[in-house]
Structure 1
Amino acid sequence: MPEVIFPGPDGRLEGRYHPQRQNDAPIAIVLHPHPQFGGTMNNKVVYNLHYAFYEMGFTVLRFNFRGVGRSQGEYDQGIGELSDAAAALDYLQSMNTGAKHCWVAGFSFGAWIGMQLLMRRPEITGFISASPPANMYDFSFLAPCPSSGLIINGTADRVAPPADTRTLVGKLQEQKGITITHEELEGADHFFKDPYMEPMIDHVKTYVTRRLTESTR
């Protein structure tokens, strides 16, 4: 998979870009967990989400936020990281002008950034939020949430407690015009450590495949 360096708002950003052969393939970006707690684009959840989207026919980009790996800049409390995600999506779209669908997937901190990106970019048609840290960050900006998506978490998550995720889901499900699907994996922790990684990815593939099928009817 080609390594790519593309321009970000605070210097170069490092990514992994996985194109399909079809010019009109859907596109997806995958966002990694908190940079100050070891989060990188090579995180297991991020890596597995990346390949899941590729296997479903998406052209996929994952990248390191500013200050991580070979990406320039410094951690910026989520503000700069949101700008990084927007720059990554710009780059991906510039390489794939024929894409009919655009998705964003994020894990933990990356889920928070991804859902903020939804608010900026109306062309995003779907999202995956894995273990969103609803206890740590304010998600009230999702008013209204502009697109349907899947929120997935584990019942044994001690980093982002399930009760907070359920509260977030409940608020979003009250909104009209979108459908928020919620899956809880019984016994899974924040990181979907084995044996939960495979079932989590299966849920994601089932959800995304159904959405893509519905969009072509």
Structure 2
Amino acid sequence: MTSPPFPATNQTLLLDGPAGALEVAVDLPEPEDARALVVVICHPLPTEGGSMHNKVVTMVARALRELGATTVRFNFRGTGQSEGGFDHGNGEQEDLRAVVDWVRSARAGDALWLAGFSFGSYVSLRATEALQPDALISIAPPVSGRGWDFDAIEVPEVPWLVVQGDADEIVDAQAVYTWVDGLKRKPQLVRMVDTSHFFHRKLIDLRGAIQHEVKAWLPPA
């Protein structure tokens, strides 16, 4: 299978990946809003039902498209139509690299941001040093209790937003705040009151928080 061209309309396609085909969804902004920006978004833990169709992932994509970004969601190996099997965040970094390489090959002049929700934020953060995105968005990063090693993560000098719900029942919110406090270079941190892991009844608030915080990072329209 050869890698397809980057689509000019909203499209779901299969891309060559390190473990076989990767299922990728590309969504474009309204033409009058379009900016030279592509955001690749990583989904939550596939062994717990996470996929590129997760409602937090799709809301992150919507928020960014409304700001003029082209968004690229994809399924990690073993999820949906993506081939292969779960690899505890290691092979998933290679999946992300394959998607990013494809985007950069096709949209070489565009800025590239990485975003991730939960497990997806872990994968995108671990891959950041190698992939050198222009900005980062991390939603509910699972810094404790799941076995993911955040201590070795080296985040480059790029704009970075972390959004965390205070009432998260899966990720320990206080552990996230303590982790952020201990970082040499701190991200912009948004603490969302009375907000669960999956942002139940708070998705519109999440959209607004993202748009407010990242607006200053956008390339010109």
When normalised by structure 1's length, the TM-score is 0.90
Q: Structure 1 stretch 134-143 or stretch 198-207: which is displaced more?
A: 134-143
How far apart in 2 are the matches of 1:121 and 1:73? 22
How far apart in 2 are the matches of 1:111 and 1:206? 20
Q: Deviations over 1:79-115 (max 9, x none)?
A: 000100111111111221221x211110000000011
How far apart in 2 are the matches of 1:68 and 1:37? 11
How far apart in 2 are the matches of 1:128 and 1:143? 15
How far apart in 2 are the matches of 1:14 and 1:82? 15
2:3 is matched with none
How far apart in 2 are the matches of 1:109 and 1:72? 19
CA gap of 1:211–1:2, structure 2 versus 1, over 3 A, is same
Residue 119 in structure 1 maps to residue 126 in structure 2: no
Structure 1 gap ranges (5+):
none
2:4 is matched with none
Identity %: 30
CA gap of 1:145–1:98, structure 2 versus 1, over 3 A, is closer
How far apart in 1 are the matches of 2:209 and 2:48? 26
Equivalent residue runs for 1:11-26 within 5 Å: 11-19=20-28, 25-26=36-37
2:137 is matched with 128
Secondary structure in 2 matching 1:159: coil
What is the CA-CA distance between 1:210 and the residue it aligns to? 1.7
Residue 39 in structure 1 maps to residue 39 in structure 2: no
Amino acid at match of 2:129: M
Q: Is the 8 A contact 1:118 1:146 kept in 2?
A: no
What is the CA-CA distance between 1:147 and the residue it aligns to? 2.3
CA gap of 1:153–1:94, structure 2 versus 1, over 3 A, is same
Of 108, 117, 121 in structure 1, the residue corresponding to residue 118 of structure 2 is 108
What is the CA-CA distance between 1:145 and the residue it aligns to? 4.0
1:202 is matched with 208
Secondary structure in 1 matching 2:115: strand
How far apart in 2 are the matches of 1:127 and 1:13? 22
Amino acid at match of 2:206: M
1:180 is matched with 187
2:197 is matched with 190
1:6 is matched with 15
Q: Is the 8 A contact 2:159 2:217 kept in 1?
A: no
1:49 is matched with 60
Residue 73 in structure 1 maps to residue 100 in structure 2: no
Secondary structure in 1 matching 2:182: helix
Structure 2 gap ranges (5+):
1-9
Amino acid at match of 1:165: V
CA gap of 1:144–1:52, structure 2 versus 1, over 3 A, is closer
How far apart in 2 are the matches of 1:184 and 1:38? 25
Amino acid at match of 1:26: L
What is the CA-CA distance between 1:24 and the residue it aligns to? 6.3
When normalised by structure 2's length, the TM-score is 0.88
What is the CA-CA distance between 1:18 and the residue it aligns to? 1.7
How far apart in 1 are the matches of 2:98 and 2:154? 23
CA gap of 1:30–1:143, structure 2 versus 1, over 3 A, is closer
